[in-house]
Chain A
Amino acid sequence: MNEIPASVQMIWGVTAFLDGVLLVLLLYRKNYMAFPAFFVYVLFDFLQCLVLYASYRIWGFGSPVSRQLGWGTQGVVMTARAAAVAEICQRVLAKYRGVWALAKRLLILTALVVLLYSWAIARGGWQLAVLNGHRGIELAIASVIVVLVMFTRYYGIFVEPPVRVLTIGFFLYSSFFVLNDTILERWMYDYSKGWNLLGTSAFLASMLLWIWGLRERQPAKTLGQKMLPGEIYDAAAPEINDRLRALNEHLEQFWNVERKQP
């Protein structure tokens, strides 16, 4: 443990403590029923802290066993994080059946395209494969969250304040990690200590946001919307689009008339 700077050790300790606080809060407020995937994610993260602490004490920080354990458990935590983000998307949009069906396809497509992009431009070598995978997943999570909030903005969908806070926490953490991993990839050994410190600090900030967001008990399920018959949309959507197109043409004509003036 001596190889780890005191500042990093301290911040790890605070993070593990806050992880525990969030876990207890989720149990105490029964919010694990409202956000089961998020609860699993926090639980896995807390367990990872314990496993890594034990591993660093037994085999040392720089040992191959600790490294393998670190990246291995990180894969599990990352999968849980992706599931928690999917759960948020579902909670926000699923009550609007049509919008959710469309959004789901778009969100999956976004995640796939971003993962493919990250994989395509990643630097070669197995040594960096885990790091690149990590960055790709975090970039996909950040992109999915952006598409989600754009959807809610466009359709004027109300997002419950705790869910909004969870979303902000996930987005800040994921986008920060993409930058952190990118810098690490370039300046590998020189940056490793800074990478640890900054990464943990970003996680700490997200954790504080989540604790604040989930301080109250949340309803397990939000009320669904009563749907209109499908024919209304089938008839109205093209008709409204025609009107919008006509208004656009009108504006274009206005613009052309204005341009033709001497």
Chain B
Amino acid sequence: MSLLFYSFFGLIGLLLILFAWSVRAPNRSGLPSSQYGDADECDRRHISYLPQIRQTFADADFDFLSKNASRGVLRRVRRERRSVALAYLAALREDFQSLLRMARAIAMLSPELAAVHEFERIRLTAQFEWQYQVIRWKLLAGIAPMPQLHGLSDLVSGLSVRLEAALKELGERAAAAAELASSMNRGGLDVS
């Protein structure tokens, strides 16, 4: 009985937390922004800085420094590498958020949604957020060694190119749909 008695309190506590979290002022990602095309743009921005990021994490540079530079310089380099890793993580998240914004905008304007896709997106978002926060906090606390980006750079450039192509295609398709809708409206039809 006691467990059941307290279960109601626990349930209401959980509902209160979820309610407060949901009604708080919307953050940037919740705004219906005009930046749905941003993913494309920021992706290209990340690509253009990739050689510099790769250079920052080059083993050869660090080996050279460890032999020739003082401890202070090494510490500074390590700190700067960490901030690059953090910035890279943030950029990755930005890409993720841009895609999410676009997905939500399309979903909101669609006459029918597939629950499978919507719940899959929620799952992917939760997974991404969890991983992102864990890596970020470990990097911030300095308990994570620096990642070797050279192995990842090929992956990210490949991914970015694919993303860019996909988003471009999506944009063209959306523009064609908008054009179709407006021409139908001009002809006195409503596509809604």
In-complex Cβ contact of A121 among B7, B19, B159, B190 (8 A): B7
Residues of B contacting A: mostly:
helix
Closest to A153 in B: B22
Asked if A102 meets B118 with Cβ closer than 8 Å, knowing A227-B111, A228-B181, A240-B102, the reply is yes
| A121 lies within 8 A of B111 (CB) | no
Q: Is the CB of B151 within 8 A of A257?
A: yes
Partner of A150, one of B8, B12, B18: B18
Q: Are B16 and A255 in contact (CB under 8 A)?
A: no
A239 and B19 CA atoms in complex are apart in Å by 31
Per-residue interface assignment for chain B, residues 92 to 109, with 1 indicating a CB less than 8 Å from any chain A CB and 0 otherwise:
100110011111101111
Query: Chain A: how many interface residues by the 8 Å CB criterion?
Result: 67
A158-B32, A175-B15, A225-B192 known; A251+B26 contact, CB < 8 A: no
User: Is there contact, CB below 8 Å, between B32 and A237?
Assistant: no
Chain A positions 141-175 with a Cβ under 8 Å from a chain B Cβ: 142-143, 145-146, 149-150, 152-158, 164, 167-168, 171, 175
CA distance A240 to B162 in the complex (A): 12
Flag whether A29 is at the interface (Cβ < 8 A). Answer: no
B109 lies within 8 A of A143 (CB): no
Asked if residues A244 and B96 are in contact (CB atoms below 8 Å), the reply is: yes
Do B166 and A156 touch (CB < 8 A)? no
Fill in one digit per residue for A114-125: 1 if any B CB lies within 8 Å of its CB, else 0: 000000010100
Considering the chains assembled together, what is the distance between the CA atoms of A98 and B115 in angstroms?
10
**Which of B48-56, B65-73, B140-148 touches A?**
B140-148
Q: Does A190 interact with chain B (Cβ within 8 Å)?
A: no
Whether a CB of chain B sits under 8 angstroms from the CB of A73 is no
User: Does chain B have a CB within 8 A of A230?
Assistant: yes
Closest CB of chain A to B134's CB: distance in Å? 7
Which of A76-84, A178-186, A197-205 has 4 or more CB atoms under 8 Å from chain B?
Answer: A178-186
A254 touches B107 (CB 8 A): no
Q: Are B111 and A139 in contact (CB under 8 A)?
A: no
A9 CB-CB contact with B under 8 Å:
no
Of all chain B residues, which has the CB nearest A122? Answer: B4
B: contact size bracket: 35 or more
Known contacts being A142-B15, A156-B32, A258-B144, is A99 close to B107, with CB within 8 Å?
A: yes
CB <8 Å contact, B26 and A182: no
- For A208, what are the chain B residues with a Cβ–Cβ distance below 8 Å? none
Which A-chain residue is minimally distant from B167 (CB atoms)?
Answer: A243
Please give me the residue from chain A that is nearest to B114 by CB atom.
A237
The answer to whether A257 and B11 have CB atoms under 8 Å apart is: no
| Bound Cα distance from A239 to B11, whole angstroms | 37
A250 at the interface (CB under 8 A from B): yes
B152's contact among A245, A254, A261, by CB below 8 Å, is which? A254
Interface 1/0s, chain A 219-251, versus B by CB < 8 A? Answer: 000001111111111111111110111111011
Chain A residues within 8 Å of B, Cβ to Cβ: 96-99, 101-102, 105, 121, 123, 135, 139, 142-143, 145-146, 149-150, 152-158, 164, 167-168, 171, 175, 178-179, 182, 186, 224-241, 243-248, 250-255, 257-258, 261-262
Known: A153-B26, A247-B99, A257-B151. 18 other contacts (CB 8 A): A96-B108, A101-B113, A105-B115, A135-B8, A146-B15, A228-B110, A228-B178, A228-B181, A229-B177, A229-B181, A236-B106, A236-B170, A237-B117, A238-B117, A244-B128, A245-B124, A251-B131, A254-B92
29 A–B contacts, CB within 8 A, in A order: A96-B109, A97-B111, A101-B113, A123-B1, A142-B15, A149-B18, A153-B21, A155-B107, A156-B26, A158-B32, A168-B23, A179-B12, A226-B190, A226-B192, A227-B192, A233-B106, A236-B103, A236-B170, A240-B99, A244-B100, A247-B95, A248-B128, A248-B131, A250-B152, A254-B135, A255-B131, A261-B145, A261-B146, A261-B147
Top-5 shortest CB links A-B? A233-B110, A261-B145, A149-B22, A98-B113, A237-B117
